[in-house]
Amino acid sequence: MIPIRSSEITPESVYLSRRKFMKGVAAVALSSAALAACGSSPAAPPTPDPAQGTPVPPKASATTDELGDALTPFEAVTTYNNFYEFSMEKEAVAPLARNFQASPWTVTVGGLVNKPKTFDVAELERKFGEEERVYRLRCVEAWSMVIPWLGFPLAKLLKEVEPTSKAKYVRFETLFDQKQFPGQRSPWYSWPYVEGLRLDEAMHDLAILSTGLYGKSLLPQNGAPVRLVVPWKYGFKSIKSIVKIDLVEEQPTSLWMDAAPNEYGFYANVNPTVNHPRWSQSSERRIGELGRRKTLMFNGYEEEVASLYADMDLRKFY
């Protein structure tokens, strides 16, 4: 996300190190491309499992998404992150997130529901199960990945709390904790991070709450212990480290709508025909690939979700 010119809000030293970092990203892209060219499947190094103390190799049962696109290597998924609560530098997020306490953790679900309830994350997993969903993640910044998530449909949780007939939207909130999230001391954004969905979007089977990826629990940089994943929308809708979910009557204002209302709308559906005011959305860079590929309408999930927006002008409701 680049809502404000980085030179306006960032000391020059940080700005310059960001440029150095971008060169690093190009190097990662190159080495991954080289791997693919050699015909090997994306390799991911074993990572230490804090619970076990022994390395557990990340694994997924799938090797591609439904379009045949290869999974993005675990290494890239867990080191190239947007998580402004830690840092605006993608590469700085994982090191800063290392000691994040994602347990114990509860998610409070309330608002316009008959059965408000606070869930322990372990209870969520026990109650609603865990399935693998391989989804493309398309960031509004025009890069993308293919990620094997673990999680369960958000609809299962919503049905459990019984939304009332007044509920029209779902509002999500990330933990507010300036000790754990140094980025929340930044005055540029109205913390905590907030996102929202229309109720019918939230009930769609593709919308999941994720508790893991590559067969392992989520790492802090990816939004531990539980985050939203809405694959047909730009990545910023997929809010991380959720503590609160409310059913509401009015359309929620997200952090990004509040920060730059002329650039980020409520719907944020991936749409190659509607450009960001400052860059084109017609193509994207798949992390690990050289060159660019065409961006697909609704990120390739058009068949599944287009009916949600049948009577809407998607240029107006962006």
Interface contacts to ligand MTE, rule CB under 6 A = 1, 81-85, 137, 139, 174, 193, 222-223, 235-236, 238-241
* CB nearer to ligand MTE: pick between 84 and 128: 84
- How far apart are CB 215 and ligand MTE at their closest, in Å? 16
- How far apart are CB 286 and ligand MTE at their closest, in Å? 13
Secondary structure letter of residue 4 according to DSSP: S
* CB nearer to ligand MTE: pick between 209 and 239: 239
* CB nearer to ligand MTE: pick between 165 and 278: 278
- How far apart are CB 14 and ligand MTE at their closest, in Å? 17
* CB nearer to ligand MTE: pick between 87 and 109: 87
Pairing of strands 106-111, 242-248: parallel
Distance of CA 230 to the CA centre of its chain: 8
Counting Cβ atoms within 10 Å, is residue 219 exposed (0-12), middle (13-18) or buried (19+)? buried
- How far apart are CB 89 and ligand MTE at their closest, in Å? 12
* CB nearer to ligand MTE: pick between 3 and 57: 3
Residue 2, phi-psi category: left (phi > 0), alpha (psi -120 to 50), beta (remainder): beta
- How far apart are CB 175 and ligand MTE at their closest, in Å? 8
Give the separation between CA 318 and CA 314, rounded to whole angstroms: 6
- How far apart are CB 170 and ligand MTE at their closest, in Å? 15
Give the separation between CA 274 and CA 308, rounded to whole angstroms: 18
Q: Are 290 and 29 in contact (CB under 8 A)?
A: yes
Longest Cα–Cα distance in the chain: 56
* CB nearer to ligand MTE: pick between 81 and 211: 81
- How far apart are CB 84 and ligand MTE at their closest, in Å? 4
* CB nearer to ligand MTE: pick between 163 and 212: 212
Distance of CA 136 to the CA centre of its chain: 10
Secondary structure letter of residue 221 according to DSSP: G
Helix ranges (DSSP H) in 109-250: 121-128, 154-161, 199-202
Q: What distances in angstroms separate CA 207 from CA 8, 84, 112, 121, one per listed residue? A: 36, 23, 20, 18
